[in-house]
Structure 1
Amino acid sequence: MQNKSFNRLKLALSGAALLAASQIATAEVIVLDFEGVGDGANINDFYDGGTDSLGNSGVDYDIAFGTNTLGVIDADAGGSGNFANEPSSDTIMYFLTGTAILNYLPGFDTGFSFFYTSSTAASVFVYDGLNATGNLLATLNLSAQHTDNCSGDPSGTFCNWTAVGASFAGTAMSVDFGGTVNQTGYDDITFGSGTAGGEKPVDVPAPMGLAFMALGLGLGLRNRKPKT
């Protein structure tokens, strides 16, 4: 009888450990929706324990953006963005000069994904080194689709959003969003999943039973003001 009871306890604890592991895996999926970033602000360290160029701060995910990477708010919400039908609220990511690179200091695996709107073909590259160095782990190809089949919110030119994602082996450290200056917008950038807009990280409390067992865009995306 004692051995049977011990085996039942081992099975229960094993089940609790598996459930806890699955909850941790879910929590590792991170989605950046850029809400809170200022209109036209350099994103900078908004997601890295600091602020954007206008002093706004977000959740510290140890994700740092290059100085070319900007946030822009939909004109319908009082910003300067020439876009519509964005997948989450009113703010997206884009850039006006150079290229946009982000560094994910802890690294991420499994997959990478996002929504985009673009007036030109482009590519996004995932690397296993910082600052777009090291081995290329994944390439995501984007098409020119920004005005295709738009409905519901026609006040912005960049009105069609497409989800794109890739799975890969290895640990990624950086993403290069290519040379799509002022022609491509990004939203709901997702780390740890090939499905854009995956679950955002949450603290999942263990059920009571388990707790007891554990005790045992300018030309495009942004509208520029006319010169005076």
Structure 2
Amino acid sequence: MQKFYKSSLAKTIAASALLAASSAANADVIVLDFEGVGNSAAINEFYNGGTDSQGNSGVDYDISFGSNSLGLIDGDAGGSGNFANEPSADTVLFFLTGTAILNYTPGFDTGFSFFYSSSTAAQVFVYDGLNATGNVLATLDLSAQFSDNCVGDPNGQFCNWTAVGATFAGTALSIDFGGTVNQTAYDDVTFGSAVAGENPGEIPEPAGYALLALGLGLLAKSRKRKS
């Protein structure tokens, strides 16, 4: 009987954890960290059910990149990227030449954000039409900060990363990075939030404490029943 009650208690706590996680998570937030994209590979359909130019595939988010979009891996990790202190792991987004447009066919709302390292001041535009058409829903301003106050990882000139984001009304279908080609790198590109790199799968700290309190409460009741 004692064993059965412990099992029921564990199941109750586990169920509560799942409930807290599902209520705290925002399923509409997507973060692209570009890990898995090949070094100097065109990203292409890596996030659209296809592959990059080297045959690597990622999660299908219905997000499509042009052929001039590149994944670059940090030189310290064996790639050709001239950067350091990247926000997540080893791979970043870079546009080499020409147009630099990203299409998100299903559309997204609320906000858009990313980390960047740039050698030039520039702007990134959020549009409500595909291929950078329609209305501009948001404009994100970038400064030339790539080498400012760098610490830590010593190798790589693009070593300062800044988070930038914007909220907007309406539904966005595309992003134009065109003014930043060959000058700017990006990481943790985030759709549905103005907070760059926000992880919708993490339970916020208050929810975590509430869950802990629930578990302790159930444990206390269990001990009273035993006594």
Q: TM-score, normalised by structure 2?
A: 0.78
Matched residue, 2:94? 94
Looking at structure 2, the residues matched to 24 and 64 of structure 1 have their Cα atoms a distance apart, in angstroms, of 28
1:141 alignment counterpart: 141
Q: Is 1:52 matched up with 2:56?
A: no
How far is 1:125 from its partner?
A: 0.2
Shift of 1:179: 2.1
Amino acid at match of 1:120: T
Q: 2:151 corresponds to which residue?
A: 151
Identity %: 77
Per-residue CA deviation, residues 9-57 of structure 1 (Å, 9 max, x unaligned), is xxxxxxxxxx79x738612100000000000000000000000000000
Inter-partner Cα distance in structure 2 for 1:131 and 1:25: 30
Give the structure with the larger helix fraction: 2
Q: Which residue identity is paired with 2:180?
A: T
> What TM-score do you get using the length of structure 1 for normalisation?
0.78
* Counterpart residue type for residue 33 of structure 1: D
Q: Secondary structure at the match of 2:26?
A: helix
Q: What is the alpha-carbon distance in structure 1 between the residues aligned to residue 46 and residue 157 of structure 2?
A: 27
Specify the code of the residue in structure 1 equivalent to 2:54: L
Partner of 2:171: 171
Q: Assess if the C-alpha contact under 8 Å between 2:138 and 2:168 holds in 1.
A: yes
**Whole-angstrom distance in 2 between the partners of 1:180 and 1:191:** 19
Of residues 91-100 and 156-165 in structure 1, the stretch that sits farther from structure 2 once superposed is: 91-100
Q: What is the CA deviation profile of residues 124-153 of structure 1, one whole-angstrom value per residue up to 9, with x for unaligned ones?
A: 000000000001000000000000010000
Matched, 1:107 2:104: no
CA contact (8 A) 1:82 1:158 kept: yes
Say if 2:25 and 2:201, in contact at 8 Å, map to a contact too.
no
CA contact (8 A) 1:125 1:140 kept: yes
Deviation per residue, 1:185-226 (Å, 9 max, x gap): 000000000000011568xxxx9xxxxxxxxxxxxxxxxxxx
Per the TM alignment, residue 96 of structure 1 is displaced from its structure 2 partner at its CA by 1.1
| Contiguous gaps of at least 5 residues in structure 2 | 1-18, 203-210, 212-227
Structure 1, unmatched stretches of 5+, are 1-18, 208-228
- How many residue pairs match? The answer is 186
Deviating runs (4+, > 2 A) in structure 1? 22-25
> Are 1:28 and 1:201, in contact at CA under 8 Å, matched by a contact in 2?
no
